[in-house]
Amino acid sequence: MQELLPSADLIVKTLLGFVVGALIGLERQKKMEGERMVGVRSFGLHSLLGTLAAYSSQIIGDESILIYAVAISVILVSSQIYYKLFRTPGKGLTTPLVFAISFVLGVLVGLDTPAPGQILGTLGVLAMTVAFGVFVVLWFKDELAHAVEVISRDEMISAVELGVIILFLWPLIPETVMLGTIEYPLFTIYFLIVILLAISFANYLLVKKYKDRGVYFFGFFGGLANSEAAVSSVTDFYVSSERKGSGMISLSIILANVAMVVRNGFLLIILDTSFRLIGLYLIPIVVIIVVSMIRIILEERSEDKTDEQMFDTKLVSPFEFGAALRFAAIFAVVYLVQLFLTETFSDIGVIVAAIIGGFVSAGAVVASIATLFFVGEVSVTVAAYAMIIATTMSVLNKMFYVYLADRETKLLKKVARDSVIIGGTFIFYLLMLSLGLLA
């Protein structure tokens, strides 16, 4: 019996073939209201032409249909280029260029061959990604142009350096290397360096954009990635800025701790579907949020505040390679010690490893402990102790990272006060748990 309904694969190809072009056309039509130019329909049908031609040629094994479609596309694009060059001088060639791209994206969709059980293959995903990327670039054209106009030479060099470190070194770094009988995660070290350089650059841009309050944004969002790295970078920034605004910098460090604890809570929710661990971790989350809110209120009422901008991005470098390398060296040493203790001892080894591991990255310890608990390797009591100890160490270690970057005591005193208050509360909570006073 003849099958009249189209297959799911054909429906997806047809819809996607139109959408990858229509998405680009949506932006063009919005930008050119009032002009008789190609828009959503023209772009969508142009990409659909490429999809149907490529798919048909592939099915019947004859490339003549695809060649015919390419010829039609060349004529359409050439007509647009002629109109732009000779009829509307000064308008640019963006529209003809992206119109040609829409046809290529349609061809990619038509040639896409998904694996069994998949809706899209590599070419389909590529077409969708490029279509969205082109849409974003065109939609934020004015913002990108403004950013290029105001960017400095040092900022441009730093952005290129970060791109080189990520794009060229990323594929070359092995996942692990063998140090005797120990399998060492070399890629993790490299990844931490990339994180630190990225948040250092982000810190610079946030302060430049939002002036003094940019350090608050940096503290929180940097803490989501790695609170220790964020603290190292923001302290170096503080030193480079002639040690101004110690109160604001200390608040940024508190926000890094807040982000770290909240992130750990999300890790527990994801990794422990029984939700027993997150129930025990809620107290630390509430404590650090309450303390941070009190500190922010007190800082806002401080008499030392001034209307003048404290931080000047002209005084600092967008990158802090020293902080990145220093942090990577500390991580490398501590990780080896933690690995040895975990493999040599049982529950005691887990606790000791949490103390040492929390000094470097509480998130890594919490994730590993939650996994061990979920598979039944450790009890809920040991898991709770380990993750709270790791979090406490991650709060207290901020004093050490600040001291490494700045030997003066002004900022260190404020960070030490905040860390001791928060860490002391966590230790008291841990003591209550150990005595069985909390269910």
pLDDT score recorded for residue 313: 43
DSSP label of 84: I
**Predicted confidence (pLDDT) per residue in 266-305, tens digit:** 888 887 888 888 888 988 899 888 988 888 788 767 645 5
- The answer to which of 44-48, 141-145, 299-303, 310-314 has the lowest mean pLDDT is 310-314
Give residue 152's pLDDT: 61
Q: How confident is the model at residue 315 (pLDDT cuts 50, 70, 90)?
A: very low
Indicate if the pLDDT at residue 348 is higher than 60: yes
pLDDT band for position 436 (50/70/90)? confident
Q: Report, as an integer, the average pLDDT of 167-196.
A: 73
pLDDT digits (tens, 9 = 90+) for 120-138: 788 888 888 888 888 887 7
Question: Which pLDDT belongs to residue 406?
Answer: 80
pLDDT digits (tens, 9 = 90+) for 136-157: 877 766 655 555 555 566 666 6
Instruction: Tell which phi-psi region holds residue 275, choosing left (phi > 0), alpha (psi between -120 and 50) or beta.
Output: left
Per-residue pLDDT at 240 exceeds 70: yes
Over the stretch 373-429, which tens digit does the pLDDT of each residue have? 887 777 888 888 988 999 999 999 889 888 887 877 788 888 899 899 998 999 999
CA gap 221, 21 in Å, rounded: 35
pLDDT of residue 13: 86
Most confident range (mean pLDDT) of 54-58, 221-225, 308-312 is 54-58
pLDDT of residue 319: 53
Among 289, 254, 276, 284, residue whose Cα is nearest residue 426: 284
Among the residue ranges 187-201, 236-250, 268-282, the one predicted with the least confidence is 187-201
Query: What percent of the chain is predicted at pLDDT more than 70?
Result: 74
Q: Which DSSP helix (H) or strand (E) runs through 184?
A: strand 182-184
Residue 309 pLDDT: 47
Looking at residues 80-96, what average pLDDT do you find? 73
| 310: pLDDT strictly greater than 50 | no
User: Rounded mean pLDDT of 26-30?
Assistant: 74
Identify the band that residue 199 occupies on the pLDDT scale cut at 50, 70 and 90: low
Element (H or E) spanning 309, and its range? none
Q: What is the pLDDT of residue 18?
A: 92
**DSSP conformation letters of 312-356:** -GGGS-S--HHHHHHHHHHHHHHHHHHHHHHHH-SHHHHHHHHHH
Q: What is the pLDDT of residue 297?
A: 83
What pLDDT, on a 0 to 100 scale, did the predictor assign at position 244? Answer: 76
